[in-house]
Amino acid sequence: MPHLSEIDHHRSVGLLQAGLPISKVYLRMNVNRTTIFRLRQRLHETDTVSDRPRSGRPMCTTQRQDKPCQKSYEQQFSFSFSFIASDKRRK
């Protein structure tokens, strides 16, 4: 079963709001019934269909800080990313 994109989230909600039952929506979107059920539940709980934040360690650098590290990594394949990041902070 495919993963729903952000656009498909909104399409599914539109179909639900138009009155289609979950059984028709999941067949039309080609996803599992539970996916549509949870999407509808998330909409009622949070008033949004955006993905919820994921668990795990938060990013400690911004994308702007990552760019020099990525460029340096592309130039120097022998060094680890964490070594390059720590080397950039010293300069």
Domain boundaries, the chain: 6-46, 61-91
What tokens does 81 get?
A: 């990313």
**Average confidence (pLDDT) over 44-67:** 80
Answer CATH for 6-46 from 2.40.160.40, 1.10.10.60, 1.20.1050.10, 1.10.10.10: 1.10.10.60
Tell how far CA 71 is from the center of its chain: 25
pTM, 2 dp? 0.54
pLDDT at 24 over 70: yes
CA angle, 15 then 23 then 25, to 5°: 25
Structure tokens at 45: 């709980």
Residue 86 has pLDDT above 60, yes or no: yes
